[in-house]
């Protein structure tokens, strides 16, 4: 293999990944679970957390913890799916270990 060609391909992929990360930042995932709303971008940064006041009245700390964990994990899973799909598009459907 031509070393210069490999370096050029690696640089192109790095540029594509940087572009993809910026695009992911603009994509939004929203999860609503039992009175908790989480809005997260495609880079897994939480943008908004809203709690229905009714959830707070009469709930135990244990129940609140379970609701929050479930909502966060659901948002994280959706964000990871979004990222995996974007990686597949970028790699042209190739299965690259650690990327897809």
Residue 64 CA to residue 59 CA, distance in Å, equals 7
Quote the domain boundaries for residue 65.
30-85
The answer to whether residue 52 is domain-embedded is yes
Query: Residue-wise pLDDT tens for the chain (100 aa)?
Result: 688 888 888 888 888 888 888 888 889 999 999 999 999 998 899 999 999 999 988 889 999 999 999 999 999 999 999 888 888 887 665 555 555 4
Question: For residue 100, what pLDDT is reported?
Answer: 47
Tally the C-alpha atoms within 13 A of residue 57's C-alpha that lie toward its C-beta: 3
Q: Give me the CATH number covering residue 45.
A: 3.30.1310.10
Single pTM value for the model: 0.72
Give residues with Cβ within 8 angstroms of 44, minimum separation 6: 76, 79, 80, 83
Q: Which of 69, 70, 84 lies closest to 27, judged by CA?
A: 84
Tell me which DSSP letter residue 97 carries. T
Tokens found for residue 82: 């979004």
């Amino acid at each position: 293999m031509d070393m210069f060609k490999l370096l050029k391909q690696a640089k192109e992929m790095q540029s594509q990944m940087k572009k993809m990360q910026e695009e992911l930042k603009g994509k939004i995932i929203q999860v609503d679970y039992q009175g908790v709303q989480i809005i997260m971008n495609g880079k897994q940064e939480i943008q908004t957390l809203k709690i229905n006041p009714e959830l707070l009245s009469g709930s135990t700390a244990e129940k609140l913890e379970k609701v929050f964990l479930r909502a966060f994990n659901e948002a994280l899973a959706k964000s990871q799916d979004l990222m995996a799909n974007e990686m597949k598009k970028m790699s042209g459907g190739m299965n690259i270990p650690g990327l897809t």
